[in-house]
Amino acid sequence: MWILTYLIGHNSIMSTLVWITGLSGSGKTTIGKKVFNKFKKKYSNTIFLDGDIFRNIFGGDLKYSIKERLENARRIHRLCKFLVLQDINVVCATISLFKEIHTMNRKEFKNYYEIFIECDMMELKKRNQKNLYSKSKKLKNRANVVGIDLPYDKPKNANLIIDNSKKNNLEIKVEKIINLVM
């Protein structure tokens, strides 16, 4: 009987993956956390995954070459798939700018929303989160920074593109995502 009560009282939609992607420093985590907080209020079976934290969870065994970044993206994809199959909604903020991953996500998730956080490179260099962009200047050759010396696949079929070149209107940007998903 308690199972029936749980199912009736459980605010659930068909489990959803909200995949928030963009270059380092674009605002994925900030926007993703806000989306998660709003989503969680309505759907308790929701979690937030962040690409940087994800690396630490798995012991930081992968570095930042294109091959290792792709493997990390595959791991994130597999974890999201596992969670969605358990009826858990996932808001995931990750660089993962690989066409292969976007294609897998679209193929394997019925309720998949790809959000691309666009940000001007000059602005990213000004923000310089984690000192990635200044470090890439010093190293000149191979800093393994996506968008600088590593290529990326800008999503061609994103459900939504949000320009976050200016750190303003956060609530409006979040509402666009919530309105799309809900």
Supply the residues annotated as catalytic: 96
Q: Please report the DSSP string for 74-129 in residue order.
A: HHHHHHHHHHHHTT-EEEEEE----HHHHHHHHHH-SSEEEEEEE--HHHHHHH-G
Partners of 90 in beta bridges = 17, 47
For residue 106, what are its two tokens? 């679209």
DSSP 165: S
Looking at this protein, which amino acid is placed at residue 73? A
- d(CA 156, CA 159) in angstroms, rounded, equals 9
Phi-psi region of 130 (alpha: psi -120 to 50; beta: other; left: phi over 0): left
How much is the CA Rg of the chain, to the nearest whole Å? 17
Among 114, 91, 143, which Cα is nearest to 21's?
Answer: 114
